[in-house]
């Protein structure tokens, strides 16, 4: 407010000393100066305005710098906020990646175990299959032999063999006269 008052007083003096100002305007300008200066002499006014002008300019500069400083702090706060948000998102992504890598590792282990079981199953299947093939081959050969045997006529045992067997049986009972004769069932093929 003081600054405006001093500027107004000085403006009144400028009008009063201007070459194109008439006498009535000069008197009005001097009266305006007196009212505005409120008892200060011109020397005091000039001295006060000279001392305060740099202070006023400095205050204006400080206000400007304060506004710039506030704006810069706002920008810094915004940048820090974004940085904090990005760091949080990055940490979250790292945690998700760690969890996923653990899950992938567990899945890889399960897949390895499944492949191992599959290989064991294939080995067991191959072994069983080859055993079944061998058994089928043996069964087919036995079936073919049985079919051949069924196709041939059945012969009665040869009579001379029967006679030799009877004689051998009687001879064994004759070899031990006091022993009770053991009942021997006839031999069959």
Judge if 100 and 132 occupy the same domain: yes
**Which residue reads 């009972």 in tokens?**
173
**Which residue reads 């008052």 in tokens?**
5
So what's the pLDDT on residue 74? 94
Judge if 27 and 1 occupy the same domain: yes
Would residue 52 count as lying in a domain?
Answer: no
Residue 49: how many other CB atoms lie within 10 Å = 17
Would residue 124 count as lying in a domain?
Answer: yes
Judge if 20 and 66 occupy the same domain: no
So what's the pLDDT on residue 14? 84
Judge if 139 and 69 occupy the same domain: yes
So what's the pLDDT on residue 37? 79
CA angle 89, 79, 83 (to 5 degrees): 20
Question: How many helices (DSSP H) and strands (DSSP E) are in the chain?
Answer: 4, 0
So what's the pLDDT on residue 54? 61
Judge if 29 and 78 occupy the same domain: no
So what's the pLDDT on residue 1? 44
Judge if 73 and 104 occupy the same domain: yes
Would residue 157 count as lying in a domain?
Answer: no
Q: Which domain holds residue 141?
A: 58-148
The pLDDT averaged over each successive group of 10 residues in the chain (189 residues) is 72 83 87 81 66 63 83 93 95 92 91 92 90 87 85 64 80 56 59
So what's the pLDDT on residue 150? 78
What is d(CA 28, CA 10) in angstroms, rounded to the nearest whole number? 14
Would residue 160 count as lying in a domain?
Answer: no
> What is the total count of domains within the chain?
2
Judge if 73 and 132 occupy the same domain: yes
Judge if 125 and 74 occupy the same domain: yes
């Amino acid at each position: 407010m003081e600054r405006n008052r001093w500027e107004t007083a000085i403006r009144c003096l400028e009008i009063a000393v201007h070459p194109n100002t008439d006498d009535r305007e000069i008197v009005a300008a001097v009266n305006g100066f007196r009212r505005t200066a409120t008892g200060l002499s011109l020397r005091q006014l000039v001295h006060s305005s000279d001392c305060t002008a740099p202070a006023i300019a400095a205050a204006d500069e400080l206000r400007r710098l304060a506004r710039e400083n506030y704006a810069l702090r706002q920008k810094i706060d915004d940048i820090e906020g974004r940085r904090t948000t990005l760091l949080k998102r990055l940490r979250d992504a790292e945690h998700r990646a760690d969890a996923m890598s653990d899950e992938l590792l567990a899945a890889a282990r399960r897949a390895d175990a499944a492949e191992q079981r599959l290989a064991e199953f294939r080995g067991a299947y191959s072994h069983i299959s080859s055993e079944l093939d061998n058994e089928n081959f043996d069964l087919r050969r036995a079936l073919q032999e049985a079919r051949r045997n069924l196709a041939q006529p059945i012969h009665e045992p040869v009579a001379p063999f029967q006679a030799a067997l009877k004689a051998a049986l009687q001879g064994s009972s004759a070899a031990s006269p006091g022993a009770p004769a053991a009942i021997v069932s006839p031999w069959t093929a």
